[in-house]
Amino acid sequence: MAEHNELGTKGEELAIVHLRSLGYEIIATNWHTQKEEIDIVAMDGKMLVMVEVKTRSTGFYGEPQVFVNRNKQKLLIKAANDYIRLKGFRGECRFDIISIVMPEGKQPRIDHLKDAFYPY
């Protein structure tokens, strides 16, 4: 596995631990439809939460969440719509981003941005 893939996998594992510590129920991970993927699908009470996890080894080029651009948001929204339709979910949904910076040999920094963006 490529080094950046390992970093991404470690970041998603940290994000799951973080969400569970807040009482979220993890419903699915790496849920795919066509070319879209949702990193984590979770429930926060009755709220369905679609979580995009961005992990970097440094924030030098910008915080990880800035890489969730409009194009990526559109793909996530499409995937969320597919998930909701296929699962027959009736209720509210939001999009969160978990931004993780994992410098080598140091504690990772986790930033959880609730309602990070809205469907448009």
pTM of the model: 0.89
User: What is the reported pLDDT for 3?
Assistant: 57
**Would you call 8 helix, strand, or coil by DSSP?**
helix
Q: In what order do the strands lie in the sheet with 47-56?
A: 25-33, 36-44, 47-56, 93-101, 109-117
Q: What are the pLDDT digits (tens) for 30-60? A: 999 888 899 999 999 999 999 999 988 766 6
Higher-pLDDT residue of 119, 31 = 31
Q: Does domain 3-117 have CATH number 3.40.50.620?
A: no
